[in-house]
Amino acid sequence: MTFLSREQLERMGFKSLGEDVKVSDKASIYNAANISIGDHSRVDDFSILSAGTGGISIGRYCHVACHSTLIGKAPIVLEDYVALSAHVAIFSSTDDFSGRAMANPTLPEEVRHVIHGNVTLHRFSAIGANSVILPGVDMGEGAALGALSLARASLEPFGIYVGAPARKVSERKRDLLEVEKQFRSMLMARTA
């Protein structure tokens, strides 16, 4: 994969850009002025970050795998250590498909009913390949969503959820909290 150079990234005018940020030269970035990307995070080939007025905020050590899409008017927040597998789609805005209104962006606002809702993926949350998150979902710290799943409602911290709509099937181990402490000690030892 080829990543944009620091100079290229800075020219794009991100709201903020941490250290060692990697963005593929095949990713599409819209409205960079409303996008923040934290230290050591990576955005892979064919991903789309399309920020609305609420912006997209990506924390530290996050991975947006290939073909993932983050799009919508309301804020989308990925806290530190979030993992998005390939083909994940996160929407903070959606047309209303109920039939009350027409539903696609070629049409004027007057004939559409667009629903907006903040999406927050808290620390350590992980999403399996080809899964979809709809507006308003709050994915608790450490929650996991299996491959090919659909989250329409919020997910409890450290729950493992699968299916469409997503249902909780088990508890995720909390060992990773200890592992993260070790990781931070490793980093501190390196810089000492």
160: β partners:
144, 170
- Compare residues 86 and 103 and give the one whose CB is closer to ligand COA: 86
Instruction: For residue 157, count other CB atoms closer than 10 A to its CB.
Output: 17
Which residues have CB under 8 Å from 100's CB, separation 6+?
A: 113
For ligand COA, give the closer residue by CB, 173 or 184.
173
Which residues, 49 to 78, sit near ligand COA by CB under 6 A? none
* Residue closer to ligand COA, measured from CB, 103 or 148: 148
Report the residue from 57, 85, 120, 125 that binds ligand COA according to the rule CB under 6 A: 85
Binder to ligand COA among 32, 84, 89, 160 (CB under 6 A)? 160
Stretch that binds ligand COA, among 8-16, 45-53, 69-77, 144-152 (CB under 6 A): 144-152
Place of tokens 């030269």: 25
Q: Looking at 101, 147, 150, 176, which residue binds ligand COA (CB under 6 A)?
A: 147
Q: Does 159 bind ligand COA (CB under 6 A)?
A: no
Subset of 102-141 contacting ligand COA (CB under 6 A) = 128-129
State the minimum distance, in angstroms, from the CB of residue 189 to ligand COA: 28
Query: Which of 115, 163, 176, 180 contacts ligand COA by CB under 6 A?
Result: 163
Interface with ligand COA (CB under 6 A): 85, 128-129, 144, 146-149, 160, 162-163, 169-170
